[in-house]
Amino acid sequence: MYRSHTCGDLRVAHNNQEVILSGWVQGIRDKGFMIYVDLRDRYGITQLYFDEESTPKDIITKAQKLGREFVVQVKGKVVERASKNPNIPTGDIEVLVTELTVLNNAQVPPFTIEDKTDGGEDIRMKYRYLDIRRNPVKNNLIFRHKVAMEVRKFLSDGGFIEVETPYLIKSTPEGARDFVVPSRMNEGQFYALPQSPQTFKQLLMVGGMDKYFQIVKCFRDEDLRADRQPEFTQIDCEMAFVEQEDILNVFENLTKHLLKEINGVEIENFPRMTYDDAMRKYGNDKPDIRFGMEFGELNEVAQHKEFGVFNDAELVVGIAVPGAASYTRKELDALVNWVKRPQVGAKGMVYAKCNEDGSFKSTVDKFYDQDDIANWAKITGSKPGDLICVLSGDANKTRAQLSALRMELAERLNLRNPKEFAPLWVIDFPLLELDEETGHYHAMHHPFTSPKPGQLELLDTDPGAVKANAYDLVLNGNEIGGGSIRIHDKEMQATMFKHLGFTPEEAKAQFGFLMDAFQYGAPPHGGLAFGLDRLVSILGGQETIRDFIAFPKNNSGRDVMIDAPAFIDDDQLKELSLKLNIQE
Ligand code: ASP
């Protein structure tokens, strides 16, 4: 037997008991007549001691040779401590060692295995298995497990069946590039790794599995943005014989269940906001509604004077920044420069201070009088002490710029409290999105999403205006998940492909299997997928998903621990009928 207890188990109630523990040496303190060793495992730390008087000499000698991270097994007796350590659960006891077995030696680790380590990100990624021994990483993995178990429990109790779908498939259109896998047995042919199980879960609906879910890996070969992983995990779901309302209800309840079970937070408000409203009020389809600062559109009260910048703008829009009337000139200049950075892209910013005495002082006092600014204050909801920030220009661009400013200021003003949770649904997304570069429309969600009833006709005349039965779940300014009611009719699916620029032949080659299936009694169906990594990191009150993934990739998509991706042998290439064409 390697252990009778874990290193987190023992309490005063175990006093005098003989125990066996196994674990890693966290630290050694050799006081000459007494040696203390902190023994660590997943469950905690227990203090061991070796005492010159009662511990046999050979064991003392062995103990003196222990190093950090050695793996050892000890037998000993639990003793109540004279001076207790209130900082750890096992702090009331220690174990007087009578037998010591070194199970394995260890080299000195490249960074300290402590909550506050001296190791930088890169070195910890390279030795991720050592990083996992540290509480912050270990606890995040345990936390992730808890969330995944709650998801499984909730969905399984709700009648959902977890079904595995294949990883070696054909392209699925989620808008990214596919990772491909060469087939040795089929010369020159490739599998694609799924960007999501989208088509398979729809086929499961045709197969009658009317409530499906899967906690599943998805793969997208995208240009890496900060905190994106080329492989990530989805909670993927699909239901048959449902309308949008049914799906929203189930997953609203799942979200509430998780927030209650994991965070102890009861959610009363679960608003629904149309995409158009989200864009108008927050300039963003994933608004953070933990704080106000809603947009106020000022065209009517700002385009009647001689101020050309506003008069020429498609949209003049402002927000109230709470308490910011006290900003110094220097701070305000810095803010103006912030919105002019290329990443934000505003040409400039007009602002007005709402003084405590009810008067206003703006950068455009030459054009606007106190009554004008009072109107801006009213529309943006500004109170005395606030600052009104106003941007103008092309409507979409200006909204995006003001949204960036809103988020930045909220961050600076500490309005984004990670312990507070404000979920909402954003609904009625546009069906199509115009690709500015190519001038073509493509599916905003994916090509299987159904338009809202009665809107099909608009496809020919005003494609950008067609709304879809598509929805996103947003939590604290992050898109946690999204889905849609699907097309389940072959003809309508063919029409959709046509509008997306597929020839009938292309549509048949890529998605013939799905359209064929629709001929054999496809039920009305819909679903969604939540991103598990992001969900877990938000519930865990942290920003980076990497911290909740056991073996993540770095920002360049590399696994620096196993050193992947890597070149393969010529023999392997030959076997796969591949030829590399790299110029040396
Ligand atoms: N397959 C979709 C996605 O990965 C989710 C869905 O529509 O159910 O975003």
Could you please report the per-residue DSSP string of 18-71? EEEEEEEEEEEEE-SSEEEEEEEETTEEEEEEEETTTS-HHHHHHHHT--TT-E
Burial readout 345-376 (b: 16 or more C-beta within 10 A, e: otherwise): ebeebbbbbbeeeeebebbbeebbeeebbbbb
Distance 199 CA to ligand 1 centre (A): 10
pTM of the model: 0.94
Residue 563 tokens, joined = 């050193």
C-alpha span between 464 and 509 (Å, rounded)? 27
Which protein residue has the closest C-alpha to ligand 1 atom 1? 198
On whether the CB atoms of residues 311 and 303 are closer than 8 A, the answer is yes
Boundaries of CATH 2.40.50.140 in the chain?
12-104
Which ligand 1 atom is nearest residue 526's CA? 8
**Which atom of ligand 1 has the smallest separation from the CA of 448?**
7
Q: Give 330's contacts (C-beta < 8 A, 6+ positions apart).
A: none
Ligand 1 site residues, Cβ closer than 6 angstroms: 174, 196, 198, 482-484, 527-529
Distance 216 CA to ligand 1 centre (A): 12
Residues 67, 77: contact at Cβ < 8 Å? no
Give CATH 3.30.1360.30 domain extents, the chain: 291-412
CATH number of 139-272+423-548: 3.30.930.10
Pocket test for ligand 1, best of 195, 219, 234 (most atoms within 8 A of CB): 234
Pocket test for ligand 1, best of 171, 193, 198, 472 (most atoms within 8 A of CB): 198
Q: Taking a C-beta distance cutoff of 8 angstroms, is the pair 529, 473 a contact?
A: no
Q: How far apart are CA 258 and CA 147, in angstroms?
A: 7
Pocket test for ligand 1, best of 219, 446, 487, 533 (most atoms within 8 A of CB): 446
Q: What was the pLDDT predicted at 527? A: 98
Ligand 1 atom closest to the CA of 481, numbered from 1? 9
Q: Tell which atom from ligand 1 comes closest to the C-alpha of 197.
A: 1
Q: Which residues pair with 104 in a beta bridge?
A: 71
Angstrom distance (rounded) from CA 474 to CA 289? 9
Q: In sequence order, which ranges of 223-314 are alpha helices (DSSP H)? A: 244-263, 275-282, 299-302, 308-311
Location of each CATH 3.30.930.10 domain in the chain: 139-272+423-548
Chain position carrying tokens 């994106």: 228
Distance 528 CA to ligand 1 centre (A): 5
The closest alpha carbon to 425, from 564, 249, 226, belongs to 249
Residue 278 structure tokens: 């989200």
Q: What is the pLDDT of residue 171?
A: 79
For domain 12-104, which CATH number applies: 2.40.30.10, 2.40.50.140, 3.40.50.10320, 1.10.10.10? 2.40.50.140
The alpha carbon of 217 and the centre of ligand 1 are apart by a number of angstroms equal to 13
232 CA to centre of ligand 1 in angstroms: 13
Provide the 10 A C-beta neighbour count for residue 318: 27
CA of 565 to the centre of ligand 1 (A): 27
Under a CB-based contact definition with an 8 Å cutoff, are residues 332 and 395 in contact?
no
pLDDT at 175: 83
User: What span, in angstroms and rounded, lies between the C-alpha atoms of 80 and 10?
Assistant: 10
The DSSP call for residue 134 is S
**What is the rounded distance in angstroms from the CA atom of residue 55 to the CA atom of residue 49?**
9
For ligand 1, atom 3, the nearest C-alpha belongs to 529
> Tokens 């009658």 belong to which residue?
208
Is residue 192 within 8 Å of residue 183, measured between CB atoms?
no
Mutate which of 196, 219, 237, 450 to test ligand 1's pocket (most atoms within 8 Å of Cβ)?
A: 196
CATH number of 291-412: 3.30.1360.30
Output phi, psi for 165, to 5 deg: -115, 160
Residues 47, 94 contacting (CB under 8 angstroms): yes
How many A from CA of 214 to the centre of ligand 1?
12
Which ranges in 473-544 belong to alpha helices (H)? 490-499, 504-517, 532-539
The alpha carbon of 177 and the centre of ligand 1 are apart by a number of angstroms equal to 15
Distances (CA, A) of 533 to 143, 225, 537, 538: 11, 15, 6, 9
Contacts of 236 (CB under 8 A, 6+ apart): 196, 197, 201, 212, 213, 214, 215, 216, 218, 527, 529
For the chain, 584 residues long, the average pLDDT of each consecutive 10-residue run is: 98 98 97 94 97 92 96 98 96 98 98 95 96 97 98 98 97 86 94 97 98 97 85 98 98 98 96 98 97 97 96 98 96 97 96 96 97 97 97 97 98 94 98 89 94 88 94 97 97 92 93 96 98 97 92 94 95 90 67
Nearest atom within ligand 1 for CA of residue 238 = 8
Q: Residue 94 and residue 454: Cα distance in Å, rounded?
A: 74
Query: Which helix or strand (DSSP H or E) is residue 80 part of?
Result: strand 71-80
* CA–CA gap between residue 97 and residue 3 (Å, rounded): 14
Q: How many angstroms separate the alpha carbon of residue 176 from the centre of ligand 1?
A: 13
Beta-bridge partner residues of 392: 316
Place of tokens 């103006």: 336
Distance between Cα 483 and ligand 1 center (Å): 5
Q: What is the dihedral of CA 376, 381, 386, 392, to 10 degrees?
A: -40
3-state class percentages of the chain: helix first, strand second, coil last, to nearest 5: 30, 25, 45
